[in-house]
Structure 1
């Protein structure tokens, strides 16, 4: 049997579900609004999308999204269902941009649907053969940072914008001396005239390199190289030449083709920031789940990807955050095809207080735990902020409550008093 791509959706429709699913399949493969003379049965059999499964869910009285009224029906009901479609790989080949057009293209605009969301993707092994996937992933990131088991404790340079290269370096020096494992630029700080990328690298990397020479452990700094393609490649090379180990890109801004091209050129760990993710995720009625989304970027080649954090400042619920992190740690393909697992990045309002809950829910320390205020605003200073997070994660792994562990660890006790 030829390889096939499978995609599962949540749909809502005032039409018969079977009819609506066939419209999806036709629109995203060989069909149009009417049968054509050269659309033979053989062509449809070889290239048409197939409705593999329909699972009816609940029925609602009002549409979740605006929908064109149905002629002759004053008060239709709206049926929800899970629908799985499949396509032959022959339609597009193992191409990520064309995959996106196929599974997440015009179907969102079809008049038959008052809700439609891509929930999951299952891809044939030919995609793994065509795309490089992560270069470092979890194991390589641990090797680059010299950390074998515990989470990477990280932070974000703040203020987001406005600091000069010299001011950025001052913050980095405090963080490095304080024992941080990972530092990243904010997604808004890339190559602006007040803090050009090359000047920032020149200011920051001597500090990181000197610390590595003294301690034998290099702090990973994710320089934000998001830009036009030529500039990204140039800035990647500049970071690598300076001894850097990581570059960050805003995935939605750069696109699948940009990230793939960068990955094929890359010698650094690629840190994927999902800025703009809410466009796809915030509505339960349209867009894309993170389960599907992260598979695209893993194939494109990121080594880390943001998943938000527990009790975050955004709208995402905790169970969604954990589900996102879990899917990053799961293989994408059946053995012996490489699984291309990536390291989830927790951030957004994180402090020592979330460590135990995060570990209990995820069951893994293969993650980057980024805290801004949770480190910088610690009453004992940056070094104490870093220690408090390490202590919180030690408590989590040992199965001890934060309060009990804090009784003998001053930095954690101060964090729990400060961050309520």
Structure 2
């Protein structure tokens, strides 16, 4: 690893202080400095280890602070509150290619500095040493397509609903119905892990009996993402059980297990890891606080995620469509020529036949998992027609045919369009 290699991070800041001084406080707090000079922080040490402000562009002034608790300069009445784009850099030698310590460096105490009434991490640029030292995406799009037996179109998927309340046998019965319907992908809800009412082992055995039986009869093995979120040893044991039973995917909740937990799982895994982002809103919902998805997803791609949730168009949450598409494009954008680490985006949250055309037009790619709950289970003709309708909607989207026109020769799609909101 070259001592000249540096990490870069882009931020949006809001401050009542001089933006240059505020950016310097960020750099000091997140490297060699503290709030007062200390004897050991020599010029030589600063040259070797200090963060640098590489760029500062003042953008605009605003009338009031976005977040509470920020300080104001003495004598500034009223204070002038400015927003600015800032790029900081750090020598890789401060931390090595460590993802947990990268997070502490680029997204640590700086969010709490009193100089700021807004601070958001927008993007990261990492040297090749990070990709080389971390698991990275191992299955991604080609591996997922191979295991699911789906090429040239999105994987049509769904989520076990109700989210919790079914026992292992009831879950398996639903999976049998979905397999017969022609589904490509099914996932546990993130709330269903290993509770006494539906223990992980019992659920895995019951579901895989159904999946394996269907595969023997039809030649198609449905991909089921088992939620094995838990402590590290639990996740490893659950992964190994799924693999022994012939399963082809496992799932973990990123914000629950953390970077170190996810790294431990992905280094152990011999199956694709479906990465769920539940809790993401706490990191992102305020536009002047937290992370952009563009920066956040890079951490998990290097940690070994193969699929990442990006929400969906006209979703049930607060995220707008432009943000959803930007997130999906980020997942499909190579991180470098040497280590592309392209991950498969997962569209979910209130998806139906009505969003398929707009999703394809905006994204320009069919490399995705399209997961619909009510869009399949709520079809008036049942789950089989729900799956058929979604496939027809995507066939139309990829062919540039309006869904309503395609529906004239595809009854399942016509009935879905009649009932879809």
Common topology (TM > 0.5): yes
Alpha-carbon deviations, 1:192-226, whole Å to 9, x = none?
A: 00000100011110111111112222100000000
Question: What CA distance in whole angstroms lies between the structure 1 residues aligned with 2:6 and 2:71?
Answer: 33
Residue 107 of structure 2 is matched in structure 1 by: 104
* Correspondence for 1:35 among 34, 37, 44: 37
Residue 148 of structure 2 is matched in structure 1 by: 145
Question: What CA distance in whole angstroms lies between the structure 1 residues aligned with 2:215 and 2:374?
Answer: 25
Matched, 1:387 2:388: yes
Question: What CA distance in whole angstroms lies between the structure 1 residues aligned with 2:149 and 2:167?
Answer: 30
Matched, 1:51 2:69: no
Q: Is the 8 A contact 1:95 1:127 kept in 2?
A: yes
- How far the C-alpha of 1:71 sits from its partner, in A, is 2.6
- Secondary structure of 1:119 counterpart: strand
- Secondary structure of 1:114 counterpart: strand
- Secondary structure of 2:39 counterpart: coil
Runs of 4+ off more than 6 Å: none
- Secondary structure of 1:62 counterpart: coil
Residue 212 of structure 1 is matched in structure 2 by: 215
Question: What CA distance in whole angstroms lies between the structure 2 residues aligned with 1:166 and 1:210?
Answer: 15
- How far the C-alpha of 1:143 sits from its partner, in A, is 0.5
Residue 397 of structure 1 is matched in structure 2 by: 398
Q: Could you tell me which runs of 5 or more consecutive residues in structure 2 were left unpaired when the two chains were aligned.
A: none
Residue 184 of structure 2 is matched in structure 1 by: 181
- How far the C-alpha of 1:14 sits from its partner, in A, is 0.3
- Secondary structure of 1:306 counterpart: strand
Residue 18 of structure 1 is matched in structure 2 by: 20
Q: Is the 8 A contact 1:61 1:76 kept in 2?
A: no
Residue 311 of structure 1 is matched in structure 2 by: 314
Q: Is the 8 A contact 1:201 1:239 kept in 2?
A: yes
- Secondary structure of 1:204 counterpart: helix
Matched, 1:281 2:284: yes
Residue 240 of structure 1 is matched in structure 2 by: 243
Question: What CA distance in whole angstroms lies between the structure 2 residues aligned with 1:317 and 1:364?
Answer: 19
Residue 298 of structure 1 is matched in structure 2 by: 301
- TM norm structure 2: 0.98
Question: What CA distance in whole angstroms lies between the structure 1 residues aligned with 2:381 and 2:186?
Answer: 20
- How far the C-alpha of 1:134 sits from its partner, in A, is 1.5
Question: What CA distance in whole angstroms lies between the structure 1 residues aligned with 2:187 and 2:128?
Answer: 33
Q: Is the 8 A contact 2:56 2:85 kept in 1?
A: yes
- Secondary structure of 1:217 counterpart: coil
- Secondary structure of 1:305 counterpart: strand
Q: Could you tell me which runs of 5 or more consecutive residues in structure 1 were left unpaired when the two chains were aligned.
A: none
Quick check: 5-14 or 54-63, which moved more? 54-63
- How far the C-alpha of 1:188 sits from its partner, in A, is 0.2
Question: What CA distance in whole angstroms lies between the structure 2 residues aligned with 1:38 and 1:232?
Answer: 44
Residue 377 of structure 2 is matched in structure 1 by: 376
Q: How many residues align?
A: 418
- How far the C-alpha of 1:61 sits from its partner, in A, is 1.7
Q: Is the 8 A contact 1:152 1:368 kept in 2?
A: yes
